[in-house]
Amino acid sequence: MENKLREIRERVLSELEEARESSRLEQIRVGVLGKKGELTGLLRGMGKLPAEERPKVGQMVNEVRQVLEDALEQRQQELRAIEKDARLRAEAVDVTLPGPERSAGSLHPMNIALNRMIDVFVGMGYEVVEGYEVEYDHYNFELLNIPKNHPARDAQDTFYVDDNIVLRTHTSPVQARIMTTRKPPIRVISPGRVYRADEADATHSPVFHQMEGLVIDEHITMGDLKGTLDEFARQMFGEGISTRFRPSFFPFTEPSAEVDLTCANCKGQGCRMCKGTGWIEVLGAGMVNPKVLEMCGIDSKKYSGFAFGMGVERMALLKYNIPNLRYLYDNDLRFLTQYR
């Protein structure tokens, strides 16, 4: 029994010396001093010894237990100090090093284009006004000279909430509300989200953004409209960009025009983007129809005005030479972070 106790003590002391982790110490403790440990087993087996040997053996086992517990406690303190030191070294922060690089967010290219468009018109004295995305038919169509059953409604591909409420198909209802609540002079732009039942493809989306402009005052002419859009094109796309008007029809304006811009990619020389023509269609415009002025309570004999409307996404595509509208909606950071 004495030899066995000596062997256990020497072996365990050696294992404690070699241990490098607190978890290893716990394994050693359980194997020797735990409920099923070697020393505990010896104590339980003392009942088989002669009565005269039990005190001596019990004393020897307790002495070995005390030696091992003391050694275990000492080694545990040593390993704690070693582990603490290693942890502190690993967690050390060199305050002289530069901080970690953080990726900065950026504006969406469409918002960059929109902000630039707003800046241009605000610089020309326009006020920015916004309106409702869910609008009455009365403002979305009827006050704009598009009565019920008018064929122009078919081209709008409208989302109807009910017979008299729609998701606005353009931001022109904002202009209608302005004309019914204000007296001229009026000079406003109305950016915002609009809805049409279009199939999503490279150039169309059922949800997109428009900016429309309205000027009402005395002696407003088509020349004022042309000059305004020429200045917008120059500031938006740079020198050498001009406008071209082509006759068209819109119920809201008379006369009406489709407006082309000199292709910003080739400066009018002809390229793939403009299909070799040197021009790109970008917006619709015209003089406000006198009938619209009268329906909104404005004297058409005293006042005249012009209006225009353009797609914000289309302006972003042209300004940044983006080939597909869907890129603006894919939320691909590889694409979006190119624009700052």
Q: By C-alpha distance, which of 238, 283, 235 is closest to 259?
A: 283
d(CA 93, CA 99): 10
Which range of residues forms the domain containing residue 136? Answer: 109-336
Instruction: Give the separation between CA 201 and CA 197, rounded to whole angstroms.
Output: 12
Name the DSSP class of 147. Answer: -
Q: Two tokens at 331?
A: 């939320």
Residues 60 and 174 in one domain: no
Residue 205 falls within a domain, yes or no? yes
Write the single-letter amino acid at 117.
M
CATH of residue 308's domain is 3.30.930.10
Q: Which helix (H) or strand (E) holds 252?
A: none
pLDDT computed for residue 284 by the predictor: 95
Residues 257 and 141 both lie in one domain: yes
Do 286 and 180 fall into the same domain? yes
Q: Which pLDDT score, from 0 to 100, does residue 292 have?
A: 96
pTM of the model: 0.68
Residues 6+ apart with CB under 8 A from 137: 148, 163, 164, 165, 166
Domain match, 118 and 85 both: no
CA 300 – CA 234 distance, rounded (Å): 31
Contact criterion met (CB below 8 Å) for 19 and 79: yes
Residue 101 lies in a domain: no
Same domain for 158 and 277? Answer: yes
Indicate whether 136 and 69 sit together in one domain: no
Per-residue pLDDT of the chain (340 residues; tens, 9 = 90+): 667 777 777 877 888 787 878 788 778 777 777 777 777 777 666 666 667 666 776 777 777 778 878 888 888 888 888 888 888 888 888 888 888 888 777 889 999 999 999 999 999 999 999 999 999 999 999 999 998 887 777 766 889 899 899 999 999 999 999 999 999 999 999 999 999 988 888 778 899 999 999 999 999 999 999 999 999 999 998 888 889 999 999 999 999 999 999 888 788 888 887 888 889 899 999 999 999 999 999 999 999 999 999 999 999 988 888 888 899 988 888 888 888 6
Residue 338's Cβ-count burial label (10 Å; 0-12, 13-18, 19+) is exposed
The tokens of 198 are what?
């279009």
Q: Quick one: 291 and 154 in the same domain?
A: yes
* SS3 call for 200: coil
Sheet holding 127-128, edge to edge: 127-128, 186-195, 207-217, 304-311, 279-288, 253-262, 243-250
